[in-house]
Amino acid sequence: MSFPENQEDKMGMMDKVMDRMSKQEKEEMLGRTMGKIFDDMTADDKKKMMGEMMPKMMEGTNMMEMMPKMMMNMMGGGEGKGGMMEMMMGMMPQCLTMMLPNMPEENRRDFVLIMITTLVEQGCAGMSEEERKGFVEMLVEKARTFV
């Protein structure tokens, strides 16, 4: 087998090689290659490169359509256990436990109100009026234990 002379033939050969590789082999190769590329770059170089690449990579992409789908896929599709959703459910309370005591009191109050509002609004999503009422009553009872 001879090595192709022109760029088009080289790309065709690369396609054939890539077709023979498993997904895992491709991911490992990409990881090694990117590691070699990024090892010699400074943080500023990486930021500059990403700033130049992202607009080209995202060209023609409707982010408002793509982001919700991508987030749900990352979170396990919102179905059952596993994926990022379960990880976040475990990590968020722990993060708040470590973060809130170190936050200035005024900022902490504002942040807690925003979080509680978001949690209640989104926690009630899709509930009937009766379910929502029961859920909010349960939250109020829990809040009263702190006074």
Tell whether 90 is covered by a domain: yes
Domain count, the chain: 2
Is residue 54 located within the same domain as residue 86? Answer: no
Is residue 56 located within the same domain as residue 90? Answer: no
Q: What is the dihedral of CA 120, 124, 128, 131, to 10 degrees?
A: -60
* Whole-structure pTM value: 0.45
Contact 84, 76 (CB under 8 A): yes
List pLDDT tens digits, range 87-145.
Answer: 778 888 888 888 899 899 999 999 999 999 999 999 999 999 999 999 999 999 999 99
Query: Which tokens belong to 141?
Result: 């009872």
- Residue 127, SS3? coil
pLDDT of 6 reads 65
List pLDDT tens digits, range 29-64.
Answer: 777 777 777 777 888 887 887 777 777 666 777 767
List pLDDT tens digits, range 11-27.
Answer: 677 778 778 888 788 77
Is residue 51 located within the same domain as residue 86? Answer: no
Is residue 42 located within the same domain as residue 89? Answer: no
Q: What is the domain extent for residue 88?
A: 82-144
